[in-house]
Amino acid sequence: MIVVLKHGVSDEKKAQLIAWLQALGLRIHISDGEFQTVLGLIGDTTNVDMDLVESLEIVDSVKRVTEPFKCCNRKFHPDDMIVEIGDVKVGGGNFVMIAGPCSVESEEQIVKVAKAVKAAGAKLMRGGAFKPRTSPYDFAGLKAFGLDLLKIARQETGLPIVTELMNIMDLPLFEDVDVIQVGARNMQNYDLLRELGHLDKPILLKRGLANTLKELLMSAEYIMASGNERVMLCERGIRTFSDYTRNTLDLSAVPMLHQLTHLPVIVDPSHATGIAKLVPPMALAATASGADGLIIEVHNDPMHALCDGAQSLRPEEFTELAEKVRAIREVIA
Ligand code: PEP
Ligand code: MN
């Protein structure tokens, strides 16, 4: 349920109403927008007398929120959420490019790529240290050493790090990571999501291979219900019968998610297509669709990449793409 307050209500009256609602056993989410204050009621609202609340002098309107997701529901927060990572802002008109290799392979590789993508305009760098691989015989990342190499690259470039956590047990190693990525395969690892909800750190939550938007939002809800509101969603392609691409990029997810939630939406055209040549056109389409950012795999030597070389752009290709992305942003602004 949401309670919209009248404009200019005093803090005292607002606090009285909130205390009364809390006494009914509800958690109250307060969204103080420029023009209105919205109280989001979380919990069992069956005992709340809607007519009584609506009749209060300070209340403008009361609405039931029928969706099962509450914390990430745009009805709770009419304004876009802006996620801050140091000086970098994502959402609410702030567009971000995240780029880097699929996996961290060596100091030379990650530093080289980080410098190149920074020069091209990326504001965050990506790089997997713990890699979920379909085959147990494939390179699974440099693990803790990979995180150390990411920190070296951050020191050299100033770019904050986005990297995937697969297992709660490894969480202590991620203390100094800037953004924790939850991979597609872990989107419904509810124990992991709950644990990330206790952190004061932004989370990049990728859509599962065969998950609906509602399921994606329910996973965001797990993180947010535990207290961490700094969630960014990522559309990275879903499984369909399309045969020539790794996945199908569901770009309609971008405007649909913007309608349903206030959280930023990032698009990953690399995993969505699996083919480097298709990454620039789909990145531009994603930008035009209103995405709040892109996450793109870039490798200095794709032919010899230990993971996802076929979908990785070379630094010069990323530079060219980043310029076109900026042009699209200007057109849709
Ligand atoms: C990745 O970002 O490297 C990755 C494994 O992505 P996804 O979880 O979307 O497959
Ligand atoms: Mn990858």
Three-state SS at 192: helix
Least distant ligand from the CA of 274: 2
pLDDT of residue 47: 83
Is 319 within 8 Å of 282 (Cβ atoms)?
no
* 196/265 Cα distance (integer angstroms): 19
pLDDT at 33: 84
Atom number in ligand 1 closest to CA 131? 5
* Ligand 2 centroid distance, CA of 160 (Å): 19
42: which DSSP letter?
E
Distance from the CA of 271 to the center of ligand 2, in angstroms? Answer: 6
User: pLDDT tens-digit profile of 166-213?
Assistant: 999 999 999 999 999 999 999 999 999 999 999 999 999 999 999 999
d(CA 148, CA 151): 5
**Ligand 2 centre from 240 Cα, in Å?**
19
**How far from the centroid of its chain's Cα atoms is residue 169's Cα?**
22
pLDDT at 2: 95
- Report pLDDT digits (tens) over 73-108: 999 999 999 999 999 999 999 999 999 999 999 999
Query: Which residues have their alpha-adjacent CB atom under 5 A from ion ligand 2?
Result: 102, 308
For the whole model, what pTM was predicted?
0.96
Distance CA 32, CA 29 (A): 10
Ligand 1 atom nearest to CA at 236: 9
* Ligand nearest the Cα atom of residue 187: 1
Range 149-158 average pLDDT: 98
Task: Tell me the CA distances in angstroms from 34 to 29, 77, 80, 84, one per residue in order.
Answer: 16, 11, 12, 19
pLDDT at 245: 98
Report which protein residue has its CA nearest ligand 1's atom 3.
102
Please state which of the ranges 4-8, 120-124, 260-264, 276-280 shows the lowest mean pLDDT.
4-8
pLDDT over threshold 90, residue 35: no
Angle at which helix 144-157 crosses helix 107-120, to 10 degrees, equals: 40
In the structure, which protein residues have their CB atom closer than 6 angstroms to any atom of ligand 1? 102, 128, 132, 183-185, 206, 236, 271
Predicted local confidence at residue 66, as pLDDT: 87
pLDDT, residue 59, reads 96
* Domains in the chain, CATH or no CATH each: 2-63 (3.30.70.1140), 83-332 (3.20.20.70)
* Cα dihedral 185, 43, 64, 32 sign: negative
Whole-number pLDDT of residue 36: 87
Gap from CA of 307 to ligand 2 centroid (Å): 6
Ligand approaching nearest to the C-alpha of 133: 1
Supply the pLDDT for residue 46.
Answer: 85
What Cα–Cα distance (Å) separates residue 301 from each residue in 63, 83, 313? 55, 32, 9
Provide DSSP, 181-234: EEPGGGTT-HHHHHHHTTSSS-EEEEPPTT--HHHHHHHHHHHHHTT---EEEE
